[in-house]
Structure 1
Amino acid sequence: MEEQLLCCEVDSIRRAHQDVNLLNERVLRTMLKAEENYLPAPNYFKCVQKDIAPNMRKILATWMLEVCEEQKCEEEVFPLAMNYLDRFLSVEPTRKSRLQLLGATCMFLASKMKETVPLTAEKLCIYTDNSVQPGELLQMELLVLSKLKWDLASVTPHDFIEHFLSKLTIHASTKQILRKHAQTFVALCATDVNFIASPPSMVAAGSVVAAVQGLYLKSQDASLSSQNLTNFLSQVIRSDPDCLRSCQEQIESLLESSLRQAQQHGSVTEAKRVDEEVDLSCTPTDVRDINI
């Protein structure tokens, strides 16, 4: 009895299991209805922002994704942070010099919403190479909350993925792999300006279809063929099948271009590393290594 009552501290964070009771049609219909309330303005670069260009958002998003990955954040944190970022930029003109501060603040808020142990202001400031101070981040947090009207319960593509997977008749292990691939596509879409105006349900459905095709699961089940799955999910989200098919193709095209860029960047990085190894005594300690 004494052994059964003994409590021990553990290093791992205990998380709640998925509540299957929430994977019902009523919840799905509510999310489909609510997602329109959290869509940013698709043309905010032209109508609101005068100092920020789409390529700047891409650079910022890539940095934010790297921070989330290095900190092993929950999968929902990055897309949610990007939703806050786009919604803020839709209503508030922002100088490019404050863009990284805004990105760090959005991660700060999203982490508080989704993480058991949220990211700290101090840690996020370190990732900015201390160009941002904790006090500045906390002030920006209040501004973002004000502009978003304190409505942080955004509907994101991650909210739909589990609903879609629950409707597919596939093995649990296969479903786990499919989930990870779909989540990767969702994160990729969040970095691209072309998906700003896309409803989360559309991005989630397109990501699931693209993941199924990429894993060649269609050979296991005829219902998972591109056409059948697209028609099925388009009915689920009440969308035109051609629109969903177009979204899927756009996601696959984005993946291809991202892989090409990664390979090119990898080649350049390797070349630089070789050059640096020629005379290591002349290479100063990287400040990023100290900060991390």
Structure 2
Amino acid sequence: MELYCLESDIAVRALPDPNILYDDRVLQSLLTIEDRFLPQCSYFQRVQKDIQPYMRRMVAGWMHEVCEEEKSNEDVFPLAINYLDRFLAVMPTRKSYLQLLGAVCIFLASKLKDCRQLSAETLCMYTDNSITTQELLDWELVVLGKLKWNMASVIPNDFIEHIIRRLPLPKDKLPMVRKHTQTFIALCATDDRLAMNPPSMIATGSLGAAVCGLQLDHSDQRLSRDNLTDLLAKITNTEVDCLRACQEQIERVLTTSLQQGQQDGQETGVRAGNKARKQQDQSSTPTDVRDVNL
């Protein structure tokens, strides 16, 4: 009798382990080591001379769109951004190499977090073949060396399940809260002003913003804004004022992002009309980051 191995395109994940999620020692260990994986400094002032904050936002947006397009594990993008920030904090980099660095960071994060990693060829395609596979592989070793092969970073996503299971949330709302929190975390990763915040603070601030945005306080007074902030601060041993400030900053980033999205939509309509009248040179990448290299 022949045996056939039938592999599905759908990744099968292990079930959450309650022994890990309900053990306070695990959460405490994450809180203890998270600072080791933060950028060593605000690198725009101290390290980078050629790269500006808007360039980082552009390449982060491109990285997010690549991960979304490829349906990568939700941990890949925040982890890739962690690698990007840590590298830029220790290594002066020319702006012409920024997209290559972003591709390498996705490549490494995908290897660590995805059951089916993104190939070098795929990532080069997303740069409109402005980089080669050999360049990507060479830079992979450079990034690994500068990060001292310390790649198992603590990211905000690592805290989500630990925090959610310690909150009085309705079980039927957990998937929605989880999804909104992951969206906020990804949004935070695109904003350089939040890069120096500890992952636990980004996670708690994102979770607080998600719960408030879903208006779950209507069904449980314990989830009112002030009560929720106090509870989240207690869970993660965070100062209430710091957490409140972080959550407010996250909400401002969301507002700015929505306004930018509306503006981009209007500009897209204008560009579509212009395209009908005149052929333009366009990149095949999800986000055109060629302007960074100019």
TM class, shorter-chain normalised? over 0.9
Equivalent position SS for 2:100 = helix
The answer (yes or no) to whether the contact 1:206–1:248 under 8 Å persists in 2 is yes
Find the aligned partners of 1:149 and 1:136 in 2 and give their Cα distance.
20
Superposition deviation, residue 228 in structure 1: 0.7
Is 2:284 aligned against 1:288?
A: yes
- Distance in 1 between the 2:239 and 2:263 partners? 37
User: Could you say what secondary structure the match of 1:288 adopts?
Assistant: coil
Q: Partner of 2:137 in structure 1?
A: 138
Deviations 1:8-32 (A, max 9, x none): 4433222222222211211000000
Corresponding residue for residue 26 of structure 1? 25
AA aligned opposite 1:49? Q
Q: Secondary structure at the match of 1:59?
A: helix
Alignment match, 1:12? 10
**Structure 2 matches for 1:135-214, cutoff 5 A?**
135-214=134-213
- Count of aligned residue pairs for this structure pair: 283
Change in CA separation of 1:285 and 1:49 when aligned onto 2, cut-off 3 Å: closer
The two structures, once aligned, show a CA RMSD in angstroms of: 1.8
CA distance in 1, matches of 2:82, 2:281: 36
User: 2:38 & 2:243 partners in 1: Cα distance?
Assistant: 18
1:223 and 1:133 map into 2 onto residues whose CA distance is 54
Sequence identity of aligned pairs in percent? Answer: 52
Which one-letter code corresponds to 1:257 in the other structure?
T
Question: 1:227-266, CA deviations, whole angstroms, 9 ceiling, x for partnerless residues?
Answer: 1110011111111101100000000001001100000100
1:194 maps to a residue whose letter is R
Amino acid at match of 1:231: D
Which residue of structure 1 aligns with residue 120 of structure 2? 121
Q: 2: CA distance between counterparts of 1:7 and 1:106?
A: 32
Q: Tell me the distance in 2 between the aligned counterparts of 1:185 and 1:287.
A: 28
2: CA distance, partners of 1:158 / 1:14? 19
Residues 85 and 102 of structure 1 are in contact (CA less than 8 Å); yes or no, is this contact kept in structure 2? yes
Deviation of residue 193 (structure 1)? 1.0
The alpha-carbon distance between structure 1 residues 246 and 284, as it changes in their structure 2 partners (threshold 3 A), is closer
Matches of 1:9 and 1:90 in 2, distance apart? 41
1:1-292 equivalences in 2 (<5 Å): 8-23=6-21, 24-277=23-276, 283=279, 288=284
Q: CA deviation at 1:108?
A: 0.3
Question: With CA pairs under 8 Å and 6+ residues apart, which has the higher RCO, 1 or 2?
Answer: 2
Whole-angstrom distance in 1 between the partners of 2:271 and 2:246 = 37
1:117-160 CA deviation, whole Å, 9 max, x = no partner? Answer: 00001100011111110000001000100111101010000000
How many Å separate the matches in 1 of 2:240 and 2:46?
A: 31
Task: Judge conservation of contact 1:42–1:196 (CA < 8 Å) in 2.
Answer: no
In 2, the alpha carbon distance for the partners of 1:287 and 1:246 equals: 39
Aligned AA (1:169):
P
The CA deviation at 1:42 is: 3.5
Q: Deviations over 1:33-71 (max 9, x none)?
A: 010100103421111111111111011101000100000
CA distance 1:91–1:285, change in 2 (3 Å): closer
